[in-house]
Structure 1
């Protein structure tokens, strides 16, 4: 049974935590003496760049170390129990019931062979928190709170039948099903568009407050952590840089590194000029199963050497558009032209040269990389397949690509599981670049990266564009990224294009209603932003009803 939840009582205390990671049979310290105290009802934000140790510390709060890591020092005391001294059986009994974890990649966390509702209720039923019928009713209530569409029936779907954002919210419901004392949120809104993110943040904050739940909120998004956290810890290279209450941290950061994190949130990029059109999508309709229409009358152009950003909320058709372009989902109507010539509709009908010219970088690096292939093989495969490079010539090019994406050649023999989330995504970028393409479709490629790494990746993509004249179709829900990298913007809603044009035009008022909603939903580095936005929306709804 859970102990009584007395607000303000210390729930978790970590002291002098040390964790090592293994690389090439050598153990290196990756968390270096970090400590934290978390009270009931409190939300602690952990921020820092990729590889800072945020997720490793979050997992350690459950008494867990991922494969290739080991906890070598310190204490982890949860509600009076030292998890380092507890048996594996005792730790396992806590996980899911009293300590829950919401992972960054929902797509990699769900079993594709089971319905969503079955996976949501599994922990509550397995830990005898409530019987199956009550667990299902509670799951549907959580779906409603988390703003999932058709909450009474969406659980009957399989994971691949919902959008990435919807699956992420379903995983949040699964974690909350046992009403745990502690929830570890590891980038839980990374996959969500800005409008959906507002609803989910509000729902998570309400549930945490309602049940007096403590939370560790791991993120690279400073504006998001400002809405959720009471305190913020800044980490770098496995060490604590500084810690302070959220408002103090945002307005008066003391350390130079923290000030750098704050500064790189705004990033201005130069405008560029277009020549001709490399990709033209003309009047495209697309359906799933020949019945469910997901794209309708979509017309989009991508000029050579320029970046077109496609924005819209989860389920608006952004990723489906990418599937049409790549031939994974042949259009029901309309044509896709590349360099003025119609692209074969289906992937199987495209020759090797056509495939080489259009590459894609996927949203979830966890599911896009083969866990059994080393980095040299992941990047080397397209070099061999498209360009015919082999042996030392291939390896030299792999090292060159690693340098381009600012990774050390020391990583060349690592498996994906030995890399951080940011490193994995950069490997995906290198794999796409290896084919020397003319067009790269970037599907949320920076969503899993912290601000500093995002800045480096965006600058890298722009540098490569300048050097090679490559074009980007950049699918994203992050308006800050759109401002940074886009030349032109396409706004989508429910499978249709509702606005498009130059970035300066689309982002300048007055805006169409849906564009205005997207822009107003971008989190600001003000702890009161979410509260004020929700009040504003409530007032607008009340005015409409009156």
Structure 2
């Protein structure tokens, strides 16, 4: 006899009210069950309804949204029929939540232990000494260092990977029947992600808890989920076991998601070899950092003796984890963070180390596209004004010329001309990143510095941006410096790769040989930590414990 489902969702409909007062359906009649102890993944691109559905299992909807139809049962409780007070009684005990950003879940002014055991005090689950003892057991189960004392620290005194596991301890302390994981490893480096996934999987299996895992990363889902629900536009496209979805996806959209996960390898730039041709960018003995400068050196030193050349028409990838110096390198090349030692040569001509000292033409020829389009675009200005500003600054165009060129730029990044009248907040993440790119193209640059420009995007949108970059390179003879922590992204667009660790270049190789020929321990650890579309990958992963101890963020 089949056990009754722990979660049963029938005909779930969730509506929203737009800023203009229009009513729209964002979840359209969704049905699914979750068995006791089963982990189900909700996958799909941004806007598919993954997080909206997951939050509804706690009886929660975002501002402006409401459950307008259907039922959600958790065990014997009908969540849709409850009032808010009754739902609050279930949160943290019957159902709990692990957020994408653990940092946002913690109060920086309180010690970690106080916050982890707070739910047990709110629901009067156990005396404080018992709660603290249970928290320490969870810290140990989640493979956290110093489990007896880590709770005495403040959130800023632990790493990102540790904080993410501590947020899981906070969710698990009340022995919930169901745990919702909302993209909990998206912001983590690959080596840290391995540790966190292992810890989550181990604790869930031992506790026999059911889970909902929200993600757009199929390789991560393959390691932790028993079953996958594929969503698009608030509707279920396909449901199947994880193995079934990976091996034989039936729906065209699922096939598209899988295809986007494995980007087409980059075709090496076919450039005629001219031994005396100047590189478009040459970096010589570059040092940079942050903070007050004393005796010619900043308080916080980041880059240490960085050297490389980038030939015209080729793409150079720079990989490494958070804190390796990748973004500081891009900012130092752009002059945003002035280097305090070394040389930056553009097409053989030495550049001033500070942005303020560079000529307008120097600024025009090397443009930067930032990681987060949300913070890079002025929310109060229309797209036309945002794109028009560099056209006036670099080329002195009048309003009629600017309007015509903005339409051309939008076409170059495959966006409709009508979009120029909108504000950034009215666009999707992928559209905003295309506007970010169009603004760089407005200067008519020769080199574009791309700083993690696909890391905040889901797989399908990121693959489309990479295809666009390749097309633009062919049309405009551009060169790219591509900063990323994602090795597969770098392999799909770059000719050569630099690996950075603690501000230094530890290895340089052709991108096509990276996975096979990397020899430095840190490079090998990065490569081995990239999840594969294989349900047995994490369980079978064997890494050199000395490398893990030397380079991982524990």
For residues 324-382 of structure 1, what are the alpha-carbon distances to aligned partners after superposition, in whole Å with 9 as ceiling and x for unaligned? 22333332432223333333333444455444433333333454445555555554554
Report SS of the residue matched to 1:295.
strand
| CA shift in 2, pair 1:125/1:49, >3 Å | closer
Q: Which residue of 2 aligns with 1:252?
A: 248
Report SS of the residue matched to 1:514.
helix
Q: Which residue of 1 aligns with 2:282?
A: 280
* Aligned equivalents of 1:98, 1:402: Cα separation in 2: 49
From 241, 264, 269, the equivalent of 2:266 is 269
From 317, 321, 327, the equivalent of 1:319 is 327
From 199, 207, 210, the equivalent of 2:195 is 199
Determine if the alignment matches structure 1 residue 170 to structure 2 residue 163: yes
* Aligned equivalents of 2:435, 2:128: Cα separation in 1: 45
Determine if the alignment matches structure 1 residue 302 to structure 2 residue 310: yes
**Range moving further from structure 2, 209-218 or 467-476:** 209-218
* Aligned equivalents of 1:66, 1:486: Cα separation in 2: 40
Q: Which residue of 2 aligns with 1:215?
A: 211
Q: Which residue of 2 aligns with 1:5?
A: none
**Which runs of structure 2 are paired with 1:304-383 in the superposition (5 Å)?**
304-373=312-381, 375-383=383-391
* Aligned residues of 2:509 and 2:518 also touching (Cα < 8 A): no
From 1, 5, 13, the equivalent of 2:8 is 13
For residues 215-265 of structure 1, what are the alpha-carbon distances to aligned partners after superposition, in whole Å with 9 as ceiling and x for unaligned? 322222221110011101112232211101111221222223323332343
Q: TM-score, normalization: structure 2?
A: 0.81
| CA shift in 2, pair 1:366/1:46, >3 Å | farther
* Aligned equivalents of 1:38, 1:212: Cα separation in 2: 13
For residues 75-110 of structure 1, what are the alpha-carbon distances to aligned partners after superposition, in whole Å with 9 as ceiling and x for unaligned? 233444444443345545655676554454668x47
For residues 294-346 of structure 1, what are the alpha-carbon distances to aligned partners after superposition, in whole Å with 9 as ceiling and x for unaligned? 32221122222221111123322212222322333332432223333333333
Q: TM-score, normalization: structure 1?
A: 0.82
Q: Which residue of 1 aligns with 2:480?
A: 472
* Aligned equivalents of 2:423, 2:116: Cα separation in 1: 31
**Which runs of structure 2 are paired with 1:24-103 in the superposition (5 Å)?**
25-67=21-63, 69-91=65-87, 99-103=95-99
* Aligned equivalents of 1:71, 1:476: Cα separation in 2: 39
Report SS of the residue matched to 1:508.
helix
1:492 shift after superposition: 1.3
1:485 shift after superposition: 0.5
**Range moving further from structure 2, 142-151 or 313-322:** 142-151
1:521 shift after superposition: 1.8
* Aligned equivalents of 1:307, 1:430: Cα separation in 2: 19
* Aligned equivalents of 2:466, 2:520: Cα separation in 1: 28
1:532 shift after superposition: 0.6
Report SS of the residue matched to 1:482.
helix
* Aligned equivalents of 1:397, 1:106: Cα separation in 2: 43
**Structure exhibiting the larger radius of gyration computed from Cα positions:** 2
1:458 shift after superposition: 0.7
* Aligned residues of 2:116 and 2:169 also touching (Cα < 8 A): no
For residues 172-229 of structure 1, what are the alpha-carbon distances to aligned partners after superposition, in whole Å with 9 as ceiling and x for unaligned? 5335414163443333333333322222221222233344443322222221110011
* Aligned equivalents of 1:139, 1:367: Cα separation in 2: 39
Determine if the alignment matches structure 1 residue 521 to structure 2 residue 532: no
Report SS of the residue matched to 1:457.
helix
Determine if the alignment matches structure 1 residue 531 to structure 2 residue 539: yes
* Number of aligned residue pairs: 527
1:291 shift after superposition: 4.3
| CA shift in 2, pair 1:503/1:177, >3 Å | same
Q: Which residue of 2 aligns with 1:238?
A: 234
* Aligned equivalents of 2:384, 2:102: Cα separation in 1: 27
* Aligned residues of 2:98 and 2:184 also touching (Cα < 8 A): yes
* Structure 2, unaligned runs of 5 or more: 272-276, 292-297, 550-554
Report SS of the residue matched to 1:518.
helix
* Aligned residues of 1:143 and 1:170 also touching (Cα < 8 A): no
